[in-house]
Amino acid sequence: MIGTEIEKARALLLQDEVVAIPTETVYGLAGNALSEKAVSKIFEAKNRPHFDPLIVHVSGISEVSKYVEEVPQMAYDLMGRFWPGALTILLPKKSCIPDLTTSGLKEVGIRIPNHPITLELLRSLPFPLAAPSANPFGYISPTSAQHVADQLGEKIPYVLNGGNCSVGIESTVLRVQHNEIEILRLGGISVEALQHFTSNIHIQQHSSSSPAAPGMLTSHYAPRKPVYVGNIRELMHDFVSQKIGVLSFKEDYKIEAQRILSKNGSFTEAAANLFAFLRELDQLDIDVILAEFLPNENLGRAINDKLKRASAK
Ligand code: TXA
Ligand code: MG
């Protein structure tokens, strides 16, 4: 059921139920981060493997020290600059965060989401919210309440509607070590924005098998239709005998099943449209989705990363 009642969401969460919540990045499937019962329900509803840890959402910077052992100065600087916002910081967890929430890892990922409804909800609760993206494991993340209801509607009691997500791609996940930032997942805060804090930024390479990088699985965000990324004109030629759909950055390829991420070439607009357009194309009567990379800078880098994973076989 979709609705806008914060009070209803609050009541369910207080009873260890799960509720889908809006954030500026993507919709999350939320439950009490301190309750093993609630966290188990999240894994179950998503059909998510237990080795993939959850992000914990808090309402203010002052909350962080309740859940983590120590916070390096640079982490505080990043929080001050980017929170509330699309940045998740990994920090050594305190024991009040169940191992189930972090899949047994010693660090917990924390962020303050930038959405007025969810901030109000968080402030009204006596616990933080664990929330992965509210999609079945392996599918595209939801950027509207309807996307959530379409796929998880039967499995969860409530979807709190906060409109379309303004950023549209997930948070950047990083850890801070000494003067270095290690990025585990590219996302809504760009590498360029982080470079104001240190030039020492390392982007972790993904792997489809490494348990050291849980959730960074290569084949992620995948639509059900096969996706090919490259030079769209050449791909159109290669797939001439099939029904094709096109996902372009800004160019109009003059085909019927086409979505243009941003006609005027805005990375921000492209990110906000990406997942909704992939879903739409996935539902059309086509055989394959042909896409192209964006310039590899700013949010283009994160979008390219999602496209690579969507196309991973
Ligand atoms: O924007 C977002 O981050 C959204 C909204 C709902 O906040 N959440 C989200 O969660 O994308 P999820 O679970 O779909 O992706 C979180 C990623 C996963 O790849 C997970 O492996 C990684 O962050 N992660 C979370 N906690 C971690 C930890 N303690 N150590 C390493 N990676 C972690
Ligand atoms: Mg996810």
Give per-residue pLDDT as tens, 194-234.
Answer: 999 999 999 997 654 444 444 455 555 678 899 999 999 99
| CA 285 from centroid of its chain's CA atoms | 27
Mutate to test the pocket of ligand 1, among 88, 141, 189 (most ligand atoms within 8 A of CB): 88
Ligand 1: lining residues by beta carbon, under 6 Å = 23, 25-26, 28, 52-55, 88, 90, 102, 105, 107-109, 113, 131-133, 170-171, 173, 184-185, 214-216
Cβ 184 vs Cβ 216: under 8 Å = yes
Q: Please give the pLDDT value at position 218.
A: 52
Q: Whose CA is nearest to atom 20 of ligand 1?
A: 215
Question: Which pLDDT belongs to residue 215?
Answer: 46
Confidence at 66, pLDDT banded by 50, 70, 90: very high
Reported for 198-204, long-range contacts at CB under 8 A and 24+ positions apart, including other chains, are: 198/74
**Ligand 2 midpoint to CA 238 (Å):** 32
Which atom of ligand 1 lies at the shortest distance from residue 29's CA?
6
Question: What is the C-alpha separation between 280 and 109, in angstroms, rounded?
Answer: 31
User: pLDDT at position 211, please?
Assistant: 40
* Nearest ligand 1 atom, CA 105: 29
Determine the average pLDDT of the residues in 9-28. 98
Looking from the CA of residue 103, the nearest atom of ligand 1 is: 29
Q: What angle do CA 63, 64, 69 make, to 5 degrees?
A: 135
Give percent of the chain with pLDDT exceeding 90: 92
The values of phi and psi at residue 118, to 5°, are -70, -35
Kind plus residue range of the DSSP H or E element containing 233 = helix 232-238
Instruction: Report how far residue 200's alpha carbon sits from residue 90's, in angstroms, rounded to the nearest whole number.
Output: 17
pLDDT digits (tens, 9 = 90+) for 267-308: 999 999 999 999 999 999 999 999 999 999 999 999 999 999
310: its two tokens: 């969507």
Ligand having the closest approach to the CA of 111: 1
